[in-house]
Amino acid sequence: MGVGDTIQSVERAAGILRLLASGPRELGVAELARAMELPKGTLHGILRTLVHVGFVEQDATTGRYRLGGTLLHLGSSYLDVNELRTRSLNWADALAGRSRESVWIGTLHEGGVLVVHHVFRPDDSMQVLQVGTLLPAHATALGKVLLAYDPYGESAKEPLAAHTPATLVTADALAKELELVRGRGWAADLEELVEGEVSIAAPIRDRRAVTVGAIGVRGAVERLAEDGEPRRDLVSYVRDAARAITRDLSR
């Protein structure tokens, strides 16, 4: 397609959105057809598509159209990571206190997990702050949570590198794992990034229930797992912290 070429149906869709955005009134098909100088049939097709992607909503009683909620959130859906850290600070500290493990908060960044907050394990041992580090999404609990709930359906950066023998390296295995994560609401990595280390994470959501980050703990397999499974009490601590931050963000 050349520089000057445009797609007619996209232009028409944009025209409809502009019309709907131009005033407070909902518009009917007849009004839209007149303003767009289009046959109702053509217009219906475009409207159906816009309703499908959530950019336009149809009023159930009047049958008239208005801008959809998804569109309204497009420009404002981004939660500043420093804001996320500020709002999470107390809950992350509390999680570190209860679990006696290091706490991590991450967001998706270029297919990986950007560490936006890190609380040391409360044993006063020598530890180095890891904020700003990029972790592989497919090999960490944080990453699995973020991939499983990503509103834009972002996928892990391919190929999936094998960090340990336990790392999930096929797209199929990862897809199955993400399905599991969605089903139970939390994720674990059992020595999939570093041998001897386990991580557990749960999603942080904003007021629209969009996942904006993940919070979790990371530590030695001896402390975090029992019989090859993440310890249930730690899972519930992590989920409690995630819910507390979610509550805070929805206020």
Contacting residues toward other proteins, per CB under 8 A: 80-83, 85-87, 89-91, 93-94, 96-98, 118-120, 122-124, 127, 129, 131
Q: In terms of CB distance, is 11 or 83 closer to other proteins?
A: 83
CB of 197 to other proteins, least distance (A): 20
The neighbouring-strand residues paired with 227 are none
Q: Which is nearer to other proteins, 9 or 90 (CB)?
A: 90
Residue bearing tokens 């394990």: 121
225 strand-pairing partners: 230
Distance, in Å, from the CA atom of 41 to the CA atom of 66, rounded to the nearest integer, reads 19
Q: Residue 210 gets which letter from DSSP?
A: -
Toward other proteins, which CB reaches closer, 119 or 204? 119
Complex with other proteins: residue 80 or 158, whichever CB lies closer: 80
CB of 220 to other proteins, least distance (A): 18
Nearest to 116 by CA among 95, 131, 103: 131
Residue 103's CB is within 10 A of a number of other CB atoms, namely 27
| Residue 241 beta carbon to other proteins: minimum distance, rounded to whole angstroms | 11
C-alpha triplet 234, 174, 212: angle, nearest 5°: 60
**In whole angstroms, what is the distance from residue 218 CA to residue 249 CA?**
24
Residue 133: partners with Cβ closer than 8 Å, 6 or more residues away: 114, 115
Q: What is the Cα–Cα distance from 142 to 152, expressed in whole angstroms?
A: 17
By C-beta, is 20 or 95 nearer to other proteins?
95
CB of 173 to other proteins, least distance (A): 35
The least CB distance from residue 82 to other proteins, in Å, is 4
